[in-house]
Amino acid sequence: MMEDTFTKDTPQKGLSTKLLAGSILGLGGGLVGLFQGLQTGDKAPFLGWLWGCSFWLSIAIGMLMLIMIFRVFNSKWSPVVRRQQEHALSAFPWLALCLLPLLLVAWFGKDQAGILWSWINPASPTIEVSSIISVEADVLHQKKAGYLNLNFFTLRLIAYFAIFCGISYWLRKASFSQDKDGDPKWTHLGTKVSAIGIPAAALALTFGAFDMFMSLEYQWFSTMYGVWFFASGMRAALAVTILICVYLVANGNLKGLFKQAHQYDLACLSLTFTIFWAYVSFSQYFLIYSANIPEETFWFTIREIDPNTGLRSGWFWVSMGLIFGHFFFPFLYLLFYRNKVDVPKLVFIVCWILAFHLLDLYWNIIPGREIVPGAFVGYEARPVIGSHLLWGLFSLVGVGCLCAWAVIRSFQSGIAEIIPIRDPRIRESINHHE
C-alpha cells in the first residue's frame, strides 16, 4: 500500500529535455573555448572549465560522504533525506566525462604554452625566486617528478573516479534493492560499503584536490588542502540537499514525510560545516603565515596584493568577501532557531552558501602566476575579472544541466521509491521530531 503512495516520475519530464539542451549549449560553448585556448596558448578557457566542473564535483562528493556517514552511524532520521542524495550520485559518471577533455588536452596538447598544468610540459616557464627558468630545471619539480608526471597523474584520476563511481553503485544498489524485497542484508551491505568507502573516498577527494587544484601552482603545497575541499563539498552538498527536499515537499512528493525536524537537523549540520570550513581555512593561512616559507607564502600573496606594485589587488576584496560572506554571515544567521526552520529563510541562506562556495572555488583555482619577462618579479597575477570567468560560466551551466538531467533521469527511471520504504529505520525517519 505504501508503494502506491509515491509517484515514480517525480520531476516533470519536460524539464529533462530543457536541461539536456542547456548542457549541450553550455558544454559546446566551453569546448569552443578549449579549442581556442589550444590555438592561442591561453589558459583561461581551461581554468574556466576546471572551475565549472569543480563546483558540481564538490557537491557530488559531499553527497557521497553524507550518505556513508549516515549509514555508518545508523542515523535514524536520515533515510528520507538519504534517498534524495542517492539519486544525486548518478551524476558521477557524467562528471568524469566532463573532466575528460582536460585529460585529453594534457596528453595530446602537452606541448602547448597554455596547458593547464604547467608541470606536464618540461619546457614551460616557471619562477625561481625572481628568475624565469623552465620546469625541468626547477629543483622543486625535480623532487616531485616521481609524483607529478602525466602517466601517474592519469592513473590517479582514473582511480579517483573508479572509487567514487564504484562506491556510488553499491550504495544505490543496496538501497534501491531493499525497496523491492526488504531483505536486511541490503542494510548490512550498505553499512559495510560505507565503512570501507569513507577512508577510500577521503583519500580520493584529498589527492584529487592536490592533483586538480593544488598542482596548478606545483611549487605550492598544503597538507590541509584536501580537508578544505572536503569541508567545502559538505557545505555545498547540504545546501543542495535542502533545496531538493524543499522542492519535493512543495511538489507534493515529500509532503508530510520531510518534516521540520529533518530540515532543522540539516541546517544544524550546515552550521557545523560552516564552522569547520572556517577553522580549516584559517589554520591553513595561519600555519603558512607563521612558517613564512617563500614556496608557500606566494600563493596567498598573489591573492592579496599586486606583486609588482605592492598595492592591494582585486583578489584582496574577494578574500574579505569569503571571510565575511562565507563564514561570519552564515555562521551568525544559522545560530538562530527561526532561520533553521522557516523555509524561505533557510532557502535564502543555502543559496547564499552555494554562491560563496562558487566564489571560494574561483578564489582557489583562478589566481595564478602568468610569466611576464618584463615584470618586476618576473610574473603578473591573473586578474579577478577576465575571459576565464566567461568560459567558466559556460562550463558551469553545461555541467550543471548535465548533472541535473542525470539526477532527474534517476528519479524518473522507477528504480526506487521516493523514500526507502523498506529501510529498517524508515518509520523512525518519517516520525522524526525535534
- Domain span including residue 342: 3-430
Number of domains present in the structure of the chain: 1
Neighbours of 212 (CB within 10 A): 23
Whether 9 has a pLDDT exceeding 50, the answer reads: no
Kindly indicate the confidence band of residue 2, based on its pLDDT and cuts at 50, 70 and 90: very low
DSSP 118-181: GGGSTTSEEEETTEEEEGGG-HHHHHHTTTSSHHHHHHHHHHHHHHHHHHHHHHHHHHHHHHHH
Q: Which helix (H) or strand (E) holds 394?
A: helix 387-412
The number of helix segments (H) and strand segments (E) in the chain equals 16, 4
Q: Is the pTM of this model over 0.85?
A: yes
Kindly indicate the confidence band of residue 13, based on its pLDDT and cuts at 50, 70 and 90: low
| pLDDT tens-digit readout, 172-200 | 999 999 999 989 999 999 999 999 999 99
Whether 1 has a pLDDT exceeding 60, the answer reads: no
| pLDDT tens-digit readout, 327-357 | 999 999 999 999 999 999 999 999 999 999 9
More confident: 379 or 191: 191
Kindly indicate the confidence band of residue 114, based on its pLDDT and cuts at 50, 70 and 90: low
Query: Parallel, antiparallel, or unpaired: how do β-strands 369-371 and 131-134 relate?
Result: unpaired
Whether 10 has a pLDDT exceeding 60, the answer reads: no
Rounded to 10 deg, the angle between the 225-250 and 185-212 helix axes is 130
